[in-house]
């Protein structure tokens, strides 16, 4: 940055002196000296503010100062505080009816009322303490006698699940006592608040990465319009590389690796943890600005459609506006495979679809997956994490989820409501006993096949995970599935006609 600034020595001359122009001994006329000095003064007035910005308090990184009169008012603030003076209320919590929605300065507030997640807020001068994985609030005034001085939180959205929560790092939030004030410093000063989230938990799975991670993070900070720094626990290169576009859509700043960055980072506030409105869900009634999951889809569209220019995406031959409706089949490997997938694809073509086989675990980056899925009028697949890509469908498209034996309630709970909220048409095709590979292992009359609900009650969740989720494939009844495909094709033509209407 400094190399781009004018050299001070060029502003006032040097070496030979002003009076002789740096050359010989001949004197310049008086009016020439006057205009030369005047130009020097004007240059100093023009460039001095640029030098003042680069003060040592910025430490190792440079972050521009916030605009005048906004030092404590953040983008998205909807009330409180006057004109940006030190006593302004910083609106970090965008959720209605929250105990932390009107947060005074120099305050720590935690909302632990939700079954799924805890969220804490810190308003004021917040600094990281890498040695103890702590956030320390340095108040401008002595805290009130009843002020919260310490909280602990594990920032993940499954607080009811003891095992996985024990794997999430605990963050300590505390108010600094007066004796710490003289010694505190900043290595890196940020002009935006911090959001602490985790890349751990179950987020290595695509479903959980969105449902536990990115959708909650987005609904927690979208009102800040990317003016927020992500401080990530369990940060890893795979997470950053896989979801880089979404991370950029959430924040305009570099991610801070809270476990390994040993510098002291300073922020004008912090949010620790994320809100949770349900599986892949955003409830507009709980937000000040009434955002929905459609707005989250718009984020994905913005970041991935920009990224498409750098990704080679296989296209079907029929790409004109007169093309047939496109159906994407999510092709799983290992378990819950459609064993007669080729026949299903041929059936779909005979009904009137162009068919795109969407391989899972194929190494394609998410921008390429977005391009393929967003081009589909109908997405079909057996229940699994890769159906989370229904978030890439454009509103008006359809999702057909194939639920194997024993899985229908789980399948519906994961995707039915979420897809409907996004403006998609949802249908669920529940496989029957003769369509499940379990019929070959147990026989059609065994309770595992004839009455899965009774089998689940008797044998418990471990059996469900091992047998119904991890131990079966499906062979679709083509005559039965044809009815679903025919209905989806007719609907796709209707939607296209409505969208083409003036």
Which one is predicted more confidently, 93 or 310? 93
* Closest residue by Cα to residue 228 from 292, 271, 265: 271
Domain containing residue 33? 2-54
**Same domain assignment for residues 193 and 322:** no
**Same domain assignment for residues 155 and 30:** no
Query: Is residue 224's pLDDT more than 50?
Result: yes
- Residue 458 inside a domain? The answer is yes
CB 470 within 8 A of CB 335: yes
**Same domain assignment for residues 222 and 177:** yes
Query: Is residue 20's pLDDT more than 80?
Result: no
Domain harbouring 489, CATH code? 3.40.50.360
Q: What is the pLDDT of residue 175?
A: 94
The residue out of 37, 54, 71 marking a domain boundary is 54
**Same domain assignment for residues 421 and 493:** yes
**Same domain assignment for residues 284 and 148:** yes
Q: What is the DSSP letter of 102?
A: S
pLDDT tens-place string over residues 467-495: 999 999 999 999 999 999 999 999 999 99
What mean pLDDT is predicted for residues 281-292? 95
Task: Give the least confident one: 92-106, 123-137, 259-273, 384-398.
Answer: 92-106
Sign, CA dihedral 295-296-301-307, equals positive
Distance CA 210, CA 3 (A): 42
- Residue 99 inside a domain? The answer is no
Distance CA 120, CA 220 (A): 11
pLDDT band at 307; cut points 50, 70, 90: low
The residue out of 38, 54, 70 marking a domain boundary is 54
Distance CA 195, CA 193 (A): 7
Q: What is the pLDDT of residue 308?
A: 54
How many structural domains does the chain have? 3
Helix%, strand%, coil% for the chain, nearest 5: 40, 15, 45
Torsions phi, psi for 48 (to 5 deg): -55, -40
What mean pLDDT is predicted for residues 356-379? 94
**Same domain assignment for residues 222 and 323:** no
Q: Which of 56-60, 233-237, 362-366 has the highest mean pLDDT?
A: 233-237
Q: Within a 10 A sphere around the Cβ of 394, how many other Cβ atoms?
A: 16
Query: Is residue 28's pLDDT more than 50?
Result: no
Q: What is the pLDDT of residue 407?
A: 97
pLDDT band at 102; cut points 50, 70, 90: confident
**Same domain assignment for residues 333 and 463:** yes
Please give the torsion angle defined by the CA atoms of residues 258, 264, 268 and 274, in that order, rounded to the nearest 10 degrees.
10
pLDDT band at 90; cut points 50, 70, 90: low
**Same domain assignment for residues 121 and 24:** no
- Residue 398 inside a domain? The answer is yes
Sign, CA dihedral 280-284-289-295, equals positive
Work out the mean pLDDT of the chain and round it to a whole number.
83
pLDDT band at 248; cut points 50, 70, 90: very high
pLDDT band at 276; cut points 50, 70, 90: very high
pLDDT band at 466; cut points 50, 70, 90: very high
Say if residue 359 is exposed, middle or buried (CB neighbours under 10 Å; 0-12, 13-18, 19+): middle
Q: Which of 3-12, 14-23, 346-355 has the highest mean pLDDT?
A: 346-355
Q: What is the DSSP letter of 19?
A: T
pLDDT band at 160; cut points 50, 70, 90: very high
- Residue 79 inside a domain? The answer is no
Angle at 426 between CA 285 and CA 406, to 5 degrees: 105
Query: Is residue 456's pLDDT more than 70?
Result: yes
Contacts of 36 (CB under 8 A, 6+ apart): 18, 28
**Same domain assignment for residues 438 and 480:** yes
Please report, rounded to a whole number, the percentage of residues in the chain having pLDDT higher than 90. Answer: 70
Query: Is residue 53's pLDDT more than 70?
Result: no
Query: Is residue 447's pLDDT more than 60?
Result: yes
Distance CA 237, CA 7 (A): 40
Query: Is residue 234's pLDDT more than 90?
Result: yes
pLDDT tens-place string over residues 312-321: 444 444 444 4
Say if residue 248 is exposed, middle or buried (CB neighbours under 10 Å; 0-12, 13-18, 19+): middle
- Residue 63 inside a domain? The answer is no
Q: What is the pLDDT of residue 485?
A: 98
- Strands 107-111 and 265-272, how do they pair? unpaired
Q: Within a 10 A sphere around the Cβ of 25, how many other Cβ atoms?
A: 7
Cα-Cα end-to-end distance for the chain:
52
pLDDT band at 128; cut points 50, 70, 90: very high
Please give the torsion angle defined by the CA atoms of residues 207, 213, 219 and 220, in that order, rounded to the nearest 10 degrees.
170
Distance CA 489, CA 351 (A): 7
- Residue 83 inside a domain? The answer is no
Q: What is the pLDDT of residue 5?
A: 29
Q: Within a 10 A sphere around the Cβ of 263, how many other Cβ atoms?
A: 15
pLDDT tens-place string over residues 161-184: 999 999 999 999 999 987 776 667
- Residue 181 inside a domain? The answer is yes
Query: Is residue 394's pLDDT more than 80?
Result: yes
**Same domain assignment for residues 140 and 25:** no
**Same domain assignment for residues 334 and 195:** no
Query: Is residue 22's pLDDT more than 60?
Result: no
Q: What is the pLDDT of residue 103?
A: 83
**Same domain assignment for residues 286 and 342:** no
Angle at 365 between CA 360 and CA 369, to 5 degrees: 60
What is the three-class DSSP state of 40? Answer: helix
- Residue 29 inside a domain? The answer is yes
Q: What is the pLDDT of residue 101?
A: 85
């Amino acid at each position: 940055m400094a190399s781009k600034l004018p050299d001070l020595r060029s502003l006032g001359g040097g070496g030979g002196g002003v009076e002789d122009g740096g050359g010989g001994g001949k004197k310049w006329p008086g009016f020439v000296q006057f205009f030369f000095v005047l130009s020097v003064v004007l240059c100093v007035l023009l460039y001095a503010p640029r030098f003042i910005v680069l003060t040592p308090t910025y430490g190792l990184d440079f972050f521009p100062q916030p605009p005048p009169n906004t030092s404590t008012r953040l983008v998205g603030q909807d009330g409180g505080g006057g004109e940006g003076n030190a006593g302004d209320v910083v609106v970090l919590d965008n959720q209605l009816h929250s105990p932390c929605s009107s947060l005074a300065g120099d305050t720590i507030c935690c909302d632990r009322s939700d079954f799924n997640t805890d969220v804490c807020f810190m308003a004021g001068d917040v600094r990281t303490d890498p040695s103890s994985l702590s956030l320390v609030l340095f108040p401008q005034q002595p805290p009130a006698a009843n002020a919260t001085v310490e909280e602990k939180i594990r920032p993940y959205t499954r607080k009811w699940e003891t095992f996985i929560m024990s794997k999430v790092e605990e963050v300590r939030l505390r108010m600094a006592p007066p004796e710490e004030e003289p010694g505190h410093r900043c290595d890196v000063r940020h002009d935006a608040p911090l959001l602490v989230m985790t890349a751990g938990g179950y987020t290595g799975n695509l479903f959980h990465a969105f449902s536990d991670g990115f959708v909650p993070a987005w609904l927690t900070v979208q009102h800040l319009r990317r003016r927020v720094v992500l401080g990530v626990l369990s940060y890893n290169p795979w997470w950053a590389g896989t979801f880089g576009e979404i991370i950029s859509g959430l924040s305009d700043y570099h991610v801070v690796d809270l476990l390994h960055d040993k510098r002291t980072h300073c922020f004008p506030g912090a949010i620790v943890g994320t809100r949770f409105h349900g599986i892949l869900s955003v409830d507009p009634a709980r937000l000040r600005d009434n955002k929905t999951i459609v707005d989250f889809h718009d984020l994905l569209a913005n970041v991935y459609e920009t990224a498409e220019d750098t990704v080679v995406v296989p296209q079907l031959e029929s790409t004109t506006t007169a093309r047939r409706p496109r159906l994407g089949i999510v092709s799983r490997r290992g378990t819950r495979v459609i064993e007669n997938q080729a026949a299903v694809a041929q059936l779909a073509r005979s009904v009137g679809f162009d068919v795109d086989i969407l391989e899972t675990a194929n190494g394609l980056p998410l921008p390429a997956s977005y391009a393929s899925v967003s081009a589909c009028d109908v997405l079909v697949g057996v229940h699994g994490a890769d159906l989370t890509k229904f978030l890439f469908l454009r509103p008006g498209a359809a999702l057909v989820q194939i639920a194997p034996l024993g899985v229908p309630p789980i399948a519906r709970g994961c995707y039915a409501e979420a897809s409907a909220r996004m403006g998609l048409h949802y249908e669920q095709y529940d496989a029957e006993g003769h369509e499940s590979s379990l019929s070959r292992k147990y026989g059609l009359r065994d309770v595992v096949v004839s009455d899965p609900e009774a089998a689940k009650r008797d044998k418990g969740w471990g059996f469900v995970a091992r047998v119904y989720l991890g131990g079966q494939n499906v062979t679709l009844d083509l005559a039965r599935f044809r009815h679903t495909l025919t209905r989806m094709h007719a609907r796709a033509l209707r939607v296209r006609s409505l969208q083409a209407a003036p």
